[in-house]
Amino acid sequence: MGLTIGIFDSGVGGLTVVRELKRLMPRQPVVYFGDTARTPYGTKGPDTIVSYARENAEFLLEMGARVIVIACHSAASVATDTLRATLDVPVFEVVTPSVQQAVRLTKNRRIGLMGTRATVSSGIYPRLIGREDPEIRVFGQPCPLLVPLVEEGWLRCRETRMIIRRYLRPLKMQQVDTLVLGCTHYPLLKDIISKKAGRRVKIVDPSAQVAEDVCLHLAQNGYGKTTGSQDEDRYFVSDIAPATAGIVRTFLGREVELLVP
């Protein structure tokens, strides 16, 4: 029997988590909720984000989810404890697995972080990395152009490559040997980022990390052999703008029906 995984994000970025989950477990049913009407969360206060996260998680539970994945960096930072305390299903989030992976990978204890302005200035990554190893230095680079570049679908443009090179410059100056893609949009630019960062820099992709954790959890609990179909997956967004379908196609690489709750 299938165990439905519920994933929510403030927008469509969390679809990179869905993509990784489907890559690892193609037949595990998922239900996605992107809060496109209230995006972005990063600029909102903690209480507001917690109440949105609760609403989103409760909606996913109503839709049959039995595992919750918080695919939004802002919600992961402030709402994880509340959701774990109030929900009786496992709650995963994008930040912790990538923190652990980055700490494991770095040799020179210099980690770079690319993220939205909100994520970088929240200080969540340096704080959690510092708890694992206080000797590690984290260099944050806000990259506000990367989300709109991804949402434009300009994944292979010269402009995109130039902008990524520009954002990476200060991180390369700091000789980071590990680079966290601290925004769920960035995995779509992973190949360019990896190339421009240089062969010696290891890339940490939070979407892939959390998907691995969920996969491991399901396998340990005997849910690894689901025989569902991806036609059972459901994709909800709180607002469908004219561009939304195209952006979703960029993320998933295929057409899906978008539903409004």
Residues known to be catalytic: 72, 183
CB closer to a second copy out of 21 and 237: 237
Q: Is 37 near a second copy (CB under 8 A)?
A: yes
List of residues 6+ apart from 222 with CB closer than 8 A: none
Q: Is 144 near a second copy (CB under 8 A)?
A: yes
Tell me the window of 1-9, 107-115, 162-170, 227-235 that interacts with a second copy (CB under 8 A).
Answer: 162-170
Q: Which of residues 96-125 bind a second copy (CB under 8 A)?
A: 117-118, 121
Q: Is 155 near a second copy (CB under 8 A)?
A: no
List 243, 249, 257, 261, residue binding a second copy (CB under 8 A): 243
Q: Is 142 near a second copy (CB under 8 A)?
A: yes
* Rama region for 173: left / alpha / beta (φ>0; ψ in -120 to 50; rest): alpha
List 134, 222, 242, 253, residue binding a second copy (CB under 8 A): 242
> Which strand (E) or helix (H) includes residue 93?
strand 91-93
Q: Is 260 near a second copy (CB under 8 A)?
A: no
Tell me the window of 36-44, 91-99, 168-176, 192-200 that interacts with a second copy (CB under 8 A).
Answer: 36-44
Do 224 and 36 contact (CB within 8 A), yes or no? no
Distance CA 136, CA 165 (A): 24
Q: How far is the CB of 222 from a second copy (least distance, A)?
A: 42
Q: How far is the CB of 144 from a second copy (least distance, A)?
A: 5
Distance CA 170, CA 173 (A): 5
178-182 sheet: strands from edge to edge: 137-142, 110-115, 178-182, 202-204
List of residues 6+ apart from 142 with CB closer than 8 A: 115, 116, 117, 120, 121
Q: Which whole-number Å values give the CA distances from 223 to 20, 46, 64, 229, in the listed order?
A: 17, 34, 15, 15
From the list 22, 120, 118, the residue with the least C-alpha distance to 69 is 22
Q: How far is the CB of 154 from a second copy (least distance, A)?
A: 8
Q: How far is the CB of 234 from a second copy (least distance, A)?
A: 23
Provide the binding-site residues for a second copy, judged by CB under 8 A. 36-37, 39, 43-44, 117-118, 121, 142, 144-145, 148-149, 151-152, 158-159, 162-163, 166, 239, 241-243
